Structure 1
Amino acid sequence: MGKGFFISKTVGVVGIVLGVGAVSTIIALSVVYSQEKAKNLEVSPTKPPTTTTTSTGAPATTEPSNEQWHKYRLPDTLLPESYEVTLWPRLEKDATSGLYIFTGGSEVTFRCVKETDLILIHSNKLNFTKGANGHLATLTGLDGSSPPAITQSWLEVRTQFLVVKLDGNLKADQRYVLHTQFTGELADDLGGFYRSVYMEDGVEKVVATTQMQPTDARKAFPCFDEPAMKAIFNITLIHPRDRVALSNMEEIAAKNITIDGIEVTETKFAPTPRMSTYLLAFIVSDYTSIGMMAGDVQIRIFARRKAIAAGQGEYALNVTGPILKYFERYYSAPYPLKKSDQIALPDFNAGAMENWGLITYRETALLYDPAFSSNANKERIATIIGHELAHMWFGNLVTLKWWNDLWLNEGFASYVEYLGADDAEPSWGVKDLIVLGDVHRVFAVDALASSHPLSSKEEEIQRPEQISELFDAISYSKGASVLRMLSSFLTEEVFVQGLSTYLNTFAYNNTVYTDLWDHLQAAVEKTGSTNKLPPNSRVHDVMNRWVLQMGFPVVSIDATTGSLSQQHFLLDPDSVVDRPSEFNYEWFVPITWQKSGTQGTAFWLLDKTATNNDLKVTGDQWVLANLNVTGFYRVKYDDANYAKLLNQLTIDHTVIPVINRAQLIDDAFNLARAKHVLTTLALDMTKYLKAETEYMPWESALDNLDFFYLMFDRSEIYGLLQAYIKGQVEPLFNYYQTMTEMWTKVPDGHTDQYNQVNALRMACSTGISACTQLVQTWYKAWMANPANNPIHPNLRSTVYCSAIAAGGVQEWDHGWKMFQSATIATEADKLRSSLACASQPWLLNRYLEYTLNATLIRKQDATSTIVYIANNVVGQPLAWDFMRANWAYIFNEYGGGSFSFSNLINGVTKRFSTEFELQQLQQFKKDNAHVGFGSGTLAVEQSIERTQANIKWLKENKDNVEKWLKQFSP
């Protein structure tokens, strides 16, 4: 702790307790008031307020001004060095107010960089106890200095600051300590210091836990809540004696004390390294754990007692050590802490959070039980653990200075998560799946005129909701895709060498993304690899074109002449791109290729057009570009080359690599939507699928045909589409029926298990009677004997959905009952999604209403449940009406900063394809402007743009699709 004035832990806590005892009702009510006031301010599109003086002399928020406390960013006058934070969460409701609360005390030691008479420190939804000086904080100096007196202190709600004005200046290079005591609500809003609730043996249990990223540490204690404001944190937790306390660092002392007659334990944790506030974590729970050592690092998995007893933490424990050691080798740097705790939470808004030394997860992302969990659940656990452990170095040890470069942090982890999982599970071949999971996924978003660059200007990202909006597919999946491309053309050896020097140079500090380019360039030069880059170019020259402008190119290749060209690929070529680009939407494109199965020499496309005679073909030869889709671009060919590729697929599709078979399908469908090729060419790409048994091409085809379902499942063409897909999938269904000996065995291959699910899902959905009878038999057997589920975990989502869709209220109610009693979250998730498959509107409407009740559908799952219902053609209009009718409630209850808002808006509107639906969407935007859309703001614009594109596509393609389907349907 810092020298100078401070209140000892025991005295400080007693003061907090006494303060709470005296004014608990007032504080509780003021917490609620401040929350509601904050909500109103956050969603009202008003100008920033200025400050006037109230009758008590305290500033009051009124009209706009340029005062520093009306800006969202901290001034460059103060730098924190260390914090002493004591927190006491109450795991029972306050008897008077009926709220869960926490109390706390904080001492932050900071250094003055520039003289100032103002202290700004972030605070949101905290209520402060006045000190002896009559103000919300107390200030003291260190090293014998005397600080100026505090003249005013107040909370600036809109910009989330505790403002402290002084009667003189703090001196440059002097150190000071700011002490505060405060109370907050331990709410169930999934942000800051919050509560998660679960039932065990009929008893309700409360977990006090945290989620700080990106701007919610300020909800737990006053802090300089920006990523560049790194400091050392000394955390102490007060908690019931029968509960476990955890934080980022290892416990160093615990003692039983009594405060106001309440018996508690005080647990102190070791000081953290220099770190950012958003990586802090502290948890009090009734959990237990399993653990092991990985070298000198202690690894522990924490979860509900019954989950640990059932062995659900074993898989995560077994893969964490190997993945951790893999990244130590990958980064050429040891893991910097003594422990790596991972904890599964019943209520958690994100998938997982990389808090240094104490990673938090949704239960579905950490707990595995082979009796309930599918191979997809298992893969998700391995890749998410890989993602979070990758952050221990890239993000935690070295942190980006500001959120505008979030893409590098999240994109990097999204790339190397596949490498870590592949090292732990080498038989899966999981590295290839990045093409489906990230590259193809984000192509769809980045092809919109409303997309955005990976890196924004710092001044464009100021408010918390703007920061939350960056947590999207562009930052994660495009970031992963372009970094994979970079690693590919530099080679992994050069990439990791530059990465290692970057991490070692900037350990415990902050960077901007170009610092990584500098170190990669140095690695290029050190290894003599300048030939990996375009002539006279640096890493910066190549990558800035992919980072600073949105979108990606389509590369057109004429194999008869060897000519190439590139242009900005837009899903709707008529859309207007109003975002300027200093590179005029041109890219340096790494072209990899093969000719009739023989690989050629890679080269760079640096201009709008070029010619490479090596690409010329004769006779039956064909050209295939972007091998294994390592480049972030689409490829279009001339008609003759397409005809040869289609012929090759028909004769022997295995000559073309599996990933590129998936690419040919995905590119063709999206090029057709963008009017680069005929829609019938894209459909022609699916004809060979009768002979295809590999997962990636099938998954690519089904993903793209899903668009046809969205456009046609309310029209007369639906029957033709169903008949065609049925004819294509029936051989795959029979293939797996034989392989699995009438569905009694599980395929050996990881992706074979995935494709078995595709075969079953599509066979049932297209009406293959053998499939329908199979799933109904299984489901009815389960209904007759709920304790003995005969359905393999891999197949449960498909079987549940198909049986509930074909059934009625009895099937639905059985699924709901099993959902309520599920003891592992992965099984609950399968049931929760499948319940949305019902065919009866009243069941779906009832289910929608359940999302408003957190005792039925957890808050973390509410928005995804609405999307599941919207995926159902029967449920889509119901979900749209429901979302519109309840938008203000959903927005305020689930938080405008929720990362799931963009998924909700896009998910509910993705079927929109009529002028009437477009008008409704535009009206929805207008009607709720006063409420706001938070992190879903951009998603509203994307949905409007996508709807307009869908309307055009239908008008231009409906007749041709119908004609083609009539020709090729059985």
Structure 2
Amino acid sequence: MGKGFFISKAVGVVLIIVGAGALATIIALSVVYSQEKAKNNEVSPTHATTTTTSTGTTGTTGTTTGGPTTPPSNETWDKYRLPTTLKPDHYNLTLRPHLKPDPTTQIYHFTGSSSVEFICESETDLILIHSNKLIYYNQTNGQMASLKAVDPGHNAPSIKSTFLKTETQYLVIQLDGNLMAGQRYQLHTEFIGELADDLGGFYRSEYKENGETKVVATTQMQPTDARKAFPCFDEPAMKAVFYITLIHDINTTALSNGEQASQENIVIDGETLLKTVFKPTERMSTYLLAFIVSDFGYIQNSVDGVLVRIFARKSAIDAGQGQYALNKTGPILKFFEQYYNSSYPLPKSDQIALPDFNAGAMENWGLITYRETALLYDEEYSSNSNKERIATIIAHELAHMWFGNLVTLRWWNDLWLNEGFASYVEYLGADNAEPEWKLKDLIVLNDVHRVFAIDALTSSHPLSSREEDIQRPEQISELFDAISYSKGASVLRMLSDFLTEEVFQHGLQTYLKTFQFQNAVYTDLWHHLQMAVDLTESKLNVSKIMNTWVLQMGYPVVTINTATGVVSQKHFLLDPDSEVTVKSEFNYEWIVPIKWMKTGAVQNQLWLEAKSVTIEEMKASGDAWVLANHLVAGYYRVNYDDGNWNKLLNILNTNRLLIPEINRAQLIDDAFNLARAKIVRTELALETTKYLRMETDFMPWESALDNLDFFYLMFDRSEVYGYMQDYLRNQVTPLFNYYKTITENWSKVPTGHLDQYNQVNAITLACKTGHPECITLATTWFKDWMTTEQNKIHPNLRSTVYCNAIAAGGADEWEFAWKKFQNATIAIEADKLRYALSCTKQPWLLNRYLEYTLEPKLVRKQDATSTIVYIAGNVVGQPLAWDFVRARWEYIFNQYGGGSFSFSNLINGVTKRFSTEFELQQLEQFKKDNADVGFGSGTLALDQSMERTRSNIKWLAENQENVLTWFKTEAER
């Protein structure tokens, strides 16, 4: 799955919605079913044909008429993992989505039938198959399913009883005899489900085109929502072949993983429909299934016999917004074929942009789904960062076609390997497609530095969990976080670096060839990498090294004393006084690869395999200096003795180009975080920003701004704020003037990709610190748009200009932007406006905006979480957002569960400014008050927020006076 919005590479999903709302939906579906049944006497199960209704279904058990009122307790079906007694071979699945609501209940629904053929692995009298929120048509024998033997001369036992176990999400089928080992059976079911707008399973997305509301039936199965679309063995190891048939309205297009095999008109209840049959899929996991019905348009080309198509709303296709994705898909696909030494395993690669989609994208095999902003590019509206995001997300998803789809994780505890790998090689694929952008280094800012902040908490977790610890759907959802994506990418990049890319690729290629169409665990990859290493003269032990990074949380800070040559390591914790309660078999020691420089010259790599060692080469006397973690290839921080720090600061101020750009960014990030951990003085960290008056490169500035965000969060309500503003305004003014000059008074666009990013940084910080010329620039451009209705603001600058103009303005500016947001037909432009609306300083407007987040017709469900977090990022909006979330938590959790809210992002976002005892008490009370409601995928985030708040409280108490003095002194120079 794509990295959310990055805003947020990861996405948490709550899978179970309970309470009166769920019961009402079930009852409504039962009414719909009864109405459909009464209409006709068709024989096809997908057309609502049964002999009895399922009005006996309840909100807790879903039992059929005549079945037990409450399901009996049983050790097997009370467990969340499937038993190993049955193994699916293939499914025949027919679905009919209704794109108009039922006239009586106003509920959207779909009907379906499924026949799954499975092999009995060991004798059993019980069939468990996953099912969630489906109502089953009763069969003639009064049960919810029918069973027959496939092998000639063999009979299946009769079904004794069927019922739904909603807690563990099973359809339970008890038999009056045993299924025999080695025999094949076929289970047939007929069902109805809601085509809800919850962004999970088989769901609906709505949009307006030419004044008409249109509905798309689409899917998001990962991780455990295929069971909402049809009964299935919904675990990644339960691979099977899928024969998909979709029955849909005339003038709509049906898509699925496989190629279309045939299409014909059929008449049902007097209505002419289309029946589209797809060729069978390859053997694959349920979470990679996709089926979509829409009236979208598309463009296409062919890449060495592979059909590539880009689907989107017709108006978007007609406007050429799919062309960039189409142009880049082919080169990226070819790159990965070479990288994996394996041909693309399917005949087609469909990619579709959806108006409503919770993640960034999803790697469904042969039919990749995207948010519109992650696939569609419009030169008039899209910034260079929008363009980069499209290239990297396409690369991320195409990387999965092999790593994840062809070879699939056995269980979700190894999710990090799947997502971490794609998050690493997305930079390689996008860099190949856009070589002038210099994308490879950006992994340091986007992933390494990003995840360092989370992995420095005691509430972090290892990359690989024990299989038995990840059982429930919400536990699985919690794994879709920055650790799995960004730390996974960071340590795999480190592994590739010290093995060399050639060795890494060779091991990867044999791994994929060995396990194609099967499942694997991370140690299988280690084995194949070791075989590749053994072909060289290297004596590296891959498992020994990497297990220290995979099986324990956190990372080390490596301290180098250049006076003595002593090099040591220690578990880096943001709060050094916090207690690590999770034991580690490695005692929080790592085997650390150290690439380094000495006085500007790159040295041979060293290894740190103990707590402390003496390395003579690390001694540096006189003017000599040492810089470790060259090009930030390693996943660790570096500290030095005071003398070496002073030398490095001097080099930054006198000859910064001796230090690579990526390491200048590293020095800033390490210094600020070492200061937060009380390892170095906070003043030393602030000293790293003094040279920025001379810096024009993007990465150091971005690193500084990322770290200064923490200072804004801690001090924008205190007396430090004014002096900090004065200092930073002085520091950014040369950069602001630099871009004013090279763009000829803002009339041109900088040529370099990263230069365009740094132009945005210059304007953003200048306006944020109250630079008069910058404020005038933003408000003038925005006012011109309001007056002339012609938007002349360059797409690169729109987010920051909109935000600053709205912050400086009042209700008129906000209402103008709100109107533009509501009428926006380009998703990327709508996103820029949605962010900017959160920048107003008017509390009443922010409160109104918060209320809008729970109105899907005003703010799409997919955008609700990030909008609340945007508002919380505003110093005026933060307490409003926190009160809003607290007051409505039960409603948000129960009604917006499913795929529409990322609870981890939400909790982290609204609490990141917390730094007082009172706010900590509020957090603790929030946890206590909502213990019965639950926090789903936000459970870990809540603990992290409390830990972060405690750390902030202590840091402020120890640093506020010193920080005030430093900023005051520097601002008055």
TM-score interval for Structure 1 and Structure 2 normalised by the shorter chain: over 0.9
Compute the displacement of 1:785 (Å).
1.9
Corresponding residue of 1:591: 594
- Select which of 90, 93, 97 maps to 2:105: 97
**Residues of 1 paired with 2:220 and 2:42: CA distance?**
25
Residue 753 of structure 2: aligned partner: 750
In structure 1, C-alpha distance between the alignment counterparts of 2:862 and 2:638, rounded to whole Å:
39
Decide which of 426, 429, 432 is 2:435's aligned counterpart.
Answer: 426
Q: How much has 1:59 moved relative to structure 2?
A: 5.7
Partner residue of 1:677? 680
SS of corresponding position for 1:132: coil
2:44 paired residue number: 14
Aligned partners of 1:618 and 1:650: how far apart in 2? 20
TM-score, structure 1 as length reference: 0.95
Checking the alignment, whether the CA contact within 8 Å between 2:98 and 2:110 is kept in structure 1 is yes
C-alpha distance after superposition, 1:506-542 (max 9, x if no partner) = 0000001000000000000113333xx2xxxx10000
SS at match of 2:624: coil
Alignment-derived partner of residue 60 in structure 1: 70
1:559 and 1:616 in contact (8 A); partners too? yes
Matches within 5 A, 1:76-155: 76-144=84-152, 145-155=154-164
Give 3-state SS (helix, strand or coil) of 2:876's partner: coil
Secondary structure at 2:441 match in 1: helix
Query: Aligned to 2:160, what secondary structure does the other structure show?
Result: strand
State the distance in 2 between where 1:353 and 1:528 align. 40
Partner residue, 1:800: 802
Q: What SS does the aligned partner of 1:188 have?
A: coil
Secondary structure at the counterpart of residue 44 of structure 2: helix
State the one-letter code of the partner of 1:569. F
Give 1:15-34 correspondences, 5 Å limit.
15-19=45-49, 34=59
CA distance in 2, matches of 1:241, 1:382: 34
The Cα shift of 1:823 comes to 1.4
- SS of alignment partner, residue 60 of structure 1: coil
Letter in 2 for 1:372: Y
Aligned equivalent of 2:355: 346
Q: Secondary structure at the match of 2:190?
A: strand
Q: 1:271 aligns with which of 280, 283, 286?
A: 280
1:16, CA displacement in angstroms? 3.7
8 Å CA contact retained: 2:199, 2:899:
no
2:764 pairs with one of 761, 766, 775: 761
Match of 2:488 in 1: 479
Asked if the contact 2:64–2:163 (Cα under 8 Å) also holds between the matched residues in 1, the reply is no
Q: Is the 8 A contact 1:468 1:897 kept in 2?
A: no
1:547 paired with 2:547, answer: no
Q: What's the CA shift string for 1:254-289, capped at 9, x where partnerless?
A: 000001111100000000000000000000001010
Which residue is 2:466 aligned to? 457
Shift of 1:292: 0.3
For 1:299, the aligned partner's letter is V
CA distance in 1, matches of 2:50, 2:248: 16
Equivalent pair of 1:73/1:462 in contact (CA under 8 Å): yes
2:45–2:113 CA contact under 8 A, matched in 1: no
- SS of 2:568's partner is strand
Counterpart CA distance in 1 for 2:472 and 2:764 is 44
d(CA) in 2 for partners of 1:57 and 1:108?
Answer: 23
| Paired position in structure 1 for 2:932 | 930
Shift of 1:862: 0.3
Deviates more, 1:325-334 or 1:959-968: 959-968
Structure 1 residues 733 and 262: alpha-carbon distance in aligned structure 2, compared to 1, 3 A threshold: same
Find the partner of 1:835 among 831, 834, 837: 837
Which one of 903, 910, 917 corresponds to residue 919 of structure 2? 917
* Structure 1 residue aligned with 2:963: 961
SS in 1 for 2:460: coil
1:5 aligns with none
How far 1:132 moved relative to its partner?
A: 1.3
Match of 2:11 in 1: none
d(CA) in 1 for partners of 2:771, 2:847? 29
Query: Whole-Å Cα distance in 1 between the matches of residues 901 and 628 of structure 2?
Result: 36
Contact 2:159 2:176 in 1 (8 A): yes
- Deviation, 1:967, is 1.1
Distance across 2 between alignment mates of 1:82 and 1:165: 22
1:369 pairs with 2:378: yes
The residue aligned with 2:244 is 235
1:777 aligns with 780
Quote the offset at 1:390 in angstroms. 0.2
Deviations 1:611-666 (A, max 9, x none): 11111111111100000111000000000000000111111111110000000000
> Identity, % of aligned pairs?
68
| Counterparts of 1:525 and 1:269, CA distance in 2 | 45
Structure 2-normalised TM-score? 0.94
Task: Please give the alpha-carbon distance, in whole angstroms, between the structure 1 residues aligned to 2:792 and 2:787.
Answer: 11
Contact 2:48 2:111 in 1 (8 A): no
Once residues 562 and 528 of structure 1 are traced to their aligned partners in structure 2, the CA distance between those partners, rounded to angstroms, is 29
Structure 2 counterparts to residues 650-689 of structure 1, below 5 A: 650-689=653-692
1:704 and 1:613 map into 2 onto residues whose CA distance is 34
Letter of the aligned partner of 1:437 in structure 2?
Answer: N
The amino acid of 2:727's aligned partner reads Y
Q: More relative contact order in 1 or in 2 (CA 8 Å, sep 6+)?
A: 2
Map 1:558-637 → 2, pairs under 5 A: 558-637=561-640
Structure 2 counterpart of 1:335: 344
Show the counterpart of 1:390. Answer: 399
Q: Where does residue 846 of structure 1 map in the other structure?
A: 848
The count of residues paired between Structure 1 and Structure 2 equals 932
Does the 8 A contact of 2:125 with 2:177 survive in 1?
A: yes
* SS of equivalent to 1:916: helix
What is the rounded CA distance, in whole Å, between the counterparts of 2:898 and 2:309 in structure 1? 34
Give the C-alpha shift of residue 22 in structure 1: 8.7
* Residue in structure 2 matched with residue 905 of structure 1 by the alignment: 907
Decide which of 291, 294, 308 is 1:285's aligned counterpart: 294
CA contact (8 A) 1:636 1:671 kept: yes
**3-state SS of 2:463 partner:** coil
Q: Is the 8 A contact 2:198 2:899 kept in 1?
A: no
Distance 1:55 1:806, change over 3 A: closer
Query: CA deviation digits over 1:711-730, x for unaligned, max 9?
Result: 00001110011001001000
Compute the displacement of 1:19 (Å): 3.3
Distance in 2 separating the partners of 1:938 and 1:322 = 39
Distance in structure 1 (CA, Å) of the matches to 2:349 and 2:894: 35
In 2, distance between residues paired with 1:190 and 1:829? 19
Task: Tell me how far apart the structure 2 counterparts of residues 422 and 690 of structure 1 sit (CA, whole Å).
Answer: 30
Structure 1 residue 57: Cα displacement: 4.7
User: What CA distance in whole angstroms lies between the structure 1 residues aligned with 2:418 and 2:878?
Assistant: 35
**Counterpart residue identity of residue 722, structure 1:** Q
**How far does the alpha carbon of each residue in 1:789-815 deviate from its partner, in whole angstroms, 9 at most, with x for none?**
010000000000000000000000110
Q: Report deviation, 1:18.
A: 4.1
Instruction: Tell me the residue number matched to 1:6.
Output: none
Distance 1:20 1:673 in 2: 66
Specify the SS of the correspondent of 2:70.
Answer: strand
Partner of 1:405: 414
Structure 2 matches for 1:696-775, cutoff 5 A?
A: 696-775=699-778
Would you say the 8 A contact 2:50–2:139 is kept in 1? no
Asked if the contact 1:896–1:933 (Cα under 8 Å) also holds between the matched residues in 2, the reply is no
The 3 A distance-change label for structure 1 pair 160 and 304 is same
Q: How far, CA to CA, are the matches of 2:76 and 2:129 in structure 1?
A: 12
Structure 1 alignment gaps of length 5 or more? 1-9, 42-52
Matching residue of 1:641: 644
Q: Deviations over 1:519-575 (max 9, x none)?
A: 000000113333xx2xxxx10000000000000000000011111000100000000
| Pair 762,614 (structure 1): closer, same or farther in 2 beyond 3 Å | same
- Which ranges of structure 2 fall in alignment gaps of 5 or more residues? 1-39
Corresponding letter in the other structure for 2:927: K
Work out whether residues 366 and 381 of structure 1, in 8 Å CA contact, stay in contact via their aligned partners in 2. Answer: yes
Q: CA 1:18 to 1:486, structure 2 compared with 1: closer, same or farther past 3 Å?
A: closer
Asked if 1 retains the 8 angstrom alpha-carbon contact of 2:340 and 2:509, the reply is yes
> What is the rounded CA distance, in whole Å, between the counterparts of 1:539 and 1:592 in structure 2?
18
